[in-house]
Amino acid sequence: MTQIQTEDEVEQVYSPKVPPAPPGVARKVRIQHLLEMKQSGRPIAMVTAYDASMAALADEGGIDVILVGDSVGNVVHGFETTLPVTMDMMIMHVQAASRGAQRALIVADMPFMSYQASIETAITNAGRLIKEGGAAAVKVENCGERSLQAIKAIVDCGIPVMGHIGLTPQSVHALSGYRVQGRTEEQAAELLEYAARIEEAGAFAIVLELTSDAIAREITSRVSIPTIGIGAGVGCDGQVLVINDMLGLTENPPRFVKKYCDLRAGVLRAVRKYSRDVRERTFPGDEHTYE
C-alpha cells in the first residue's frame, strides 16, 4: 500500500472531486491555510456570493474564501436590511454556493436572531449551516457578550467561526445607520477589545467592516488570526467584496467598492436588444429553429 506523503495526497483521497491546484496553491482551502497566509504575508482574496454559478466562477478565478452572506437579503431578495433573512433562506443559498465551489473555503453567515437568543439556538443553527448547507465555517457578527459566548460555544462543538466587527449590519438600528466605525478613541478602544476577545473565544478570522484604516491596521498587527477588510483599508490580511458589486451589477455601490467590469450596462444592452428582436420578429431565426 502506498504511503500518503503530502497534504495534497490526503486531499486527493478524501476529496477526489476537487481538481488539482497550481504549484504552491492549496488544493482545498482550509482554515489553517488562512493562518499560514497571514504569517507569510500573502493576502487572502474573499468574495461574497449566493448561488452556484457565481461561486463556481469565483472558485475558478482563484478566490480563497467564499462568504455566503446574509447580505443576500439586500442583493438578491430586495430587502432594505439584512434583518428579514431567515435560516431557511441562508441554508438554501449556502447549499447552492457549496455545489458551485470546489476549492474555496465556504463560510456561511448566521442571520439575525439565529445566535442571540441562547447558546443552544446558536449551536443548533450553526450545525444546520454545516450539516444541511454544506458550509465549512460560519460567521457571527459582534453584538457584545452574547456573540462572544456564541462563538466559544460553537467552536467548542467543532465548528470553525469567523468573527465580524466594525459596521455590523444586523445592528443597523442600534448603530443609527451605516456609519464608519473606529473614528473616535472610544470606538477604537472598543474595537480593539472585541477583536482580542473574539480571538480568545476561538475564532479563526475576523471581518473588519467600514472601519478607519488606522484602527484596522492596529487590529491586524495585534491579533494572530487573519483580518479580512471591507471598507477598512489596505492594511488587513485580506479583502472581501460582494461579487455583484465588483462586477458592476449594483447601481450606486458604496465608495469602498472597486468595479472590475460593468456587467450592469452589458446586461441592459443585451436585454434591450433581445426585447427589440422579439418585437420585430427577428428572433428566433432559422438557426434557432428546429425542423
How many other C-beta atoms are found inside a 10 Å radius of the C-beta of residue 189?
A: 12
DSSP tag of 141:
E
Question: Rounded to whole angstroms, how far apart are CA atoms 185 and 213?
Answer: 14
pLDDT in tens, 182-230: 888 999 999 999 999 999 999 999 999 999 999 999 999 999 999 999 9
Q: In what helix (H) or strand (E) does residue 243 lie, and over which residues does it extend?
A: helix 243-246
Whole-number Cα distances in Å, 60 to 21, 30, 36, 52, 269: 10, 17, 22, 12, 27
Q: How confident is the model at residue 177 (pLDDT cuts 50, 70, 90)?
A: confident
pLDDT above 70 coverage of the chain, percent? 91
- Alpha-carbon Rg of the chain, whole angstroms? 21
Peptide bond into 284 cis (omega under 30): yes
Catalytic member of 11, 141, 209, 218: 209
105-109/44-48 β-pairing: unpaired
More confidently predicted of 184 and 86? 86
- Length of the chain counted residue by residue: 291
Question: 161 near 139, Cβ under 8 Å?
Answer: yes
Is residue 209 annotated as part of the catalytic site, yes or no? yes
- DSSP helix, strand, coil percent of the chain (3-state; round to 5): 45, 15, 45
Q: How confident is the model at residue 281 (pLDDT cuts 50, 70, 90)?
A: very high
Grid cell listed for 288: 434557432
Cα end-to-end span (Å), the chain: 57
Question: Rounded to whole angstroms, how far apart are CA atoms 5 and 12?
Answer: 11
The domain locations on the chain are 8-260, 263-291
pLDDT confidence of residue 178: 83
> How does the average pLDDT of the chain come out, rounded?
93
* Cα 66 off chain centre by: 5
- CATH number for domain 8-260, candidates 3.40.630.30, 3.20.20.60, 3.40.190.290, 1.20.1250.20: 3.20.20.60
